[in-house]
Amino acid sequence: MVNITGDQALVKKINTSLALETIRVHAPISRAQVAELTGLNKATVSNLVSDLLEQQLVTEIGPGQSSGGRKPLLLLFNRNAGYSIGIHLDVRTFSIALCDLSGQIVLEKLDQRLSSSDPEQVTDQLALAIQDLTDQAPPSPYGVIGIGIGAPGMVDEQGCVLFAPNLGWEQIPLQQWLQNRFPTIPILVDNEANAGALGEYEYGAGKNVQHLIYVSAGAGIGAGMMIHGEIYRGAAGYSGEMGHMTIDVHGRKCSCGNRGCLELYASEKAILDQQKSLPFHSLHEAIQRAEQDDADALHTLQQLGEYLGIGIANLVNGFNPELVIIGNQFAHFERWIGAAVERSVKQRALRSHQQGLHIVYAPLKQRSTLLGAANQAIRSFVGRAKVTM
Ligand SMILES: [Zn+2]
């Protein structure tokens, strides 16, 4: 026997999420436009919207354009219905922000030093920072609706960090550990480059771009890919390990076990690996010297750019994106690596693939990942929206 009531409740829940997501993405929007975009009939939309208004998830503003007859009221997603927390966990630092539901940052702490890379200590430090922002969140109907975290390395569907060689982590159930600390707030952990791609898609260079790749370059290299507004994850969720594509068959040995991986040549690792022969020992020092026109530093940064360009050309040839966004620390380095990246891509990407291709430096700078992580929590909240029957 079919459970009619149960089925109806499920249909209503799905339709509610669909209507709310449509309003979130397309606001300001009229009820008629919601009906058109979702394929739901006008009476259904009207009912769902009254419930959403009552639940304070949607607000109404003054009349919009009309094609004749009474001008419709426009709907907005209520950005102040609650707040989302986004975190970018990097290799030596983390950044955290509290945002409203439109991704506007209300409070933030950028580039906080990790006191250790020990996973339990990192969890303690993140938990303290989360508690601090949660305590400061302005009053709202739903409070803190979720916490998103972008972490370096491979992350499974349960938010377990399977392998993060740059942190020295293996099999760390970060999502579960934090969920134990904050049992009432949904927590999502994803790969930091995936979160960065989503952040730029929703709030940065990638708005309305259907095929984009976000390249997170700094201590290591990773890539996140967005296809038609969704993250491309691959069969098991591990796509985007761009840093471990082989670019030198007999090259240096990598922490992944292979040889000649891109990130050994195009990230800070290139500097760390050649410490003995270089007069500087970190990306930060290289930039400081480059700012004083130091020839060694300028040359090293150009080399990083050249290799990063090779990696990007390989992705461009393989995936034919319309936009490549260079993010994480390298988002700030266009001045030093820009020409070399461009030269490399021009030389190695197929000409057909270069047509209409744009390469930009993440306009959200070090906020791409934390905003993407916050947006994942917002998307999940909208997906859970349930209106009582
Ligand atoms: Zn590798």
Determine the distance separating the centroid of ligand 1 and the alpha carbon of 262, expressed in angstroms.
Answer: 7
Determine the distance separating the centroid of ligand 1 and the alpha carbon of 333, expressed in angstroms.
Answer: 23
pLDDT tens digits for 131-163?
A: 999 999 999 999 999 999 999 999 999 999 999
Classified as helix, coil or strand, 148 is strand
Determine the distance separating the centroid of ligand 1 and the alpha carbon of 252, expressed in angstroms.
Answer: 9
Determine the distance separating the centroid of ligand 1 and the alpha carbon of 346, expressed in angstroms.
Answer: 25
If you average pLDDT over residues 211-215, what whole number do you get?
98
Judged against a pLDDT cut of 70, whether residue 388 lies above it is answered with no
**At which residue do the structure tokens 């709310």 appear?**
20
Determine the distance separating the centroid of ligand 1 and the alpha carbon of 219, expressed in angstroms.
Answer: 13
Determine the distance separating the centroid of ligand 1 and the alpha carbon of 245, expressed in angstroms.
Answer: 7
Q: CA 273: distance to chain centroid?
A: 29
Looking at per-residue confidence, does 147 or 166 come out higher?
A: 147
For 27, what's the count of Cα atoms within 13 Å in the CB-facing half-sphere?
20
Determine the distance separating the centroid of ligand 1 and the alpha carbon of 194, expressed in angstroms.
Answer: 19
* CA distances to 15, 69, 102 from 39, in Å: 10, 23, 25
Q: What is the pTM of this model?
A: 0.94
Determine the distance separating the centroid of ligand 1 and the alpha carbon of 296, expressed in angstroms.
Answer: 26
Q: What's residue 389's pLDDT?
A: 35
d(CA 262, CA 255): 12
d(CA 307, CA 312): 9
Q: Residue ranges of the alpha helices (H) in the chain? A: 4-26, 31-38, 42-54, 119-136, 174-181, 192-203, 263-266, 268-273, 283-291, 295-319, 334-348, 351-354, 368-384
Determine the distance separating the centroid of ligand 1 and the alpha carbon of 273, expressed in angstroms.
Answer: 14
Give yes or no for a contact between 94 and 113, defined as CB atoms under 8 angstroms apart.
no
Structure tokens at 114: 């990790």
pLDDT tens digits for 65-97?
A: 766 777 889 999 999 999 999 999 999 999 999
d(CA 374, CA 16): 21
Q: What's residue 313's pLDDT?
A: 98
Determine the distance separating the centroid of ligand 1 and the alpha carbon of 204, expressed in angstroms.
Answer: 29
If you average pLDDT over residues 370-375, what whole number do you get?
98
Please, what is the average pLDDT of the chain? 94
* CA distances to 75, 286, 294, 311, 361 from 333, in Å: 41, 11, 15, 17, 8
What backbone torsions phi and psi does residue 57 show, to the nearest 5 degrees?
-90, -20
Judged against a pLDDT cut of 70, whether residue 4 lies above it is answered with no
